[in-house]
């Protein structure tokens, strides 16, 4: 498994569920995703779970899979529980070693976010964002006319 970092989008909800513990957490500027070695996105990881070791994350994923497969033992409602396929995905992922992002990866992601936010602020300040909206609406009108 690999942990990847990405920018939190404006459409992202304030609270997310951690894939590892299934607990709600508040997301910061950087979203932390867990991917399998095959590139399958498993979900978000809370900052608390990021402090766990690879073996602890793998153990908690196995526990999540068991809770899905046996909801009555975990005190969950079977109808509200995720599917069996999700449990199998978690069990397969629990076999893989976790690769954490390096300090350099964190630094680069923070720099990218700062750069993107600076560009957005500058575009708004200079009015370029209004220009792009106007040009896009003109392009959309041309495309709509071509469809008719």
Structural domains counted in the chain: 2
> Are residue 73 and residue 29 in the same domain, yes or no?
yes
Residues 74 and 95 in one domain: yes
Show the domain range for 112.
102-147
Q: Looking at the predicted structure, is the pLDDT value of residue 137 above 80?
A: no
Which of 65, 83, 101 is the C-terminal boundary of a domain?
101
- The span from the CA of 33 to the CA of 69, in Å, is 23
Residue 2 within a domain: no
Domain termination site, one of 84, 101, 118: 101
> Percentage of the chain surpassing pLDDT 70?
74
User: Strand ranges (DSSP E) for the chain?
Assistant: 2-7, 15-17, 24-26, 30-35, 41-44
Let me know whether 89 and 131 are in one domain: no
10-69: pLDDT as tens digits? 888 999 999 999 899 999 889 999 999 999 999 999 999 999 999 999 999 999 888 888
The average pLDDT across 98-119 equals: 88
Q: Which residue, 88, 108, 100, is CA-closest to 40? A: 88
Tokens of 141: 């009108």
């Amino acid at each position: 498994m690999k942990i990847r970092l990405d920018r939190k989008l404006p459409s992202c909800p304030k609270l997310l569920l951690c894939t590892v513990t299934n607990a709600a957490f508040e997301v910061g500027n950087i979203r932390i995703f867990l991917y399998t070695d095959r590139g399958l996105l498993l979900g978000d990881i809370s900052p608390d779970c990021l402090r766990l070791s690879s073996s602890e994350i793998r153990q908690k994923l196995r526990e999540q899979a068991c809770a899905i497969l046996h909801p009555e033992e975990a005190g969950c409602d079977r109808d509200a529980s995720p599917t069996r396929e999700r449990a199998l995905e978690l069990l397969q992922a629990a076999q893989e070693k976790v690769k954490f992002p390096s300090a350099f990866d964190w630094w680069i992601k923070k720099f990218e976010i700062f750069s993107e936010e600076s560009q957005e602020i500058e575009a708004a300040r200079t009015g370029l964002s209004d220009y792009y909206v106007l040009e896009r609406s003109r392009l959309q009108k041309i495309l709509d006319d071509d469809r008719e």
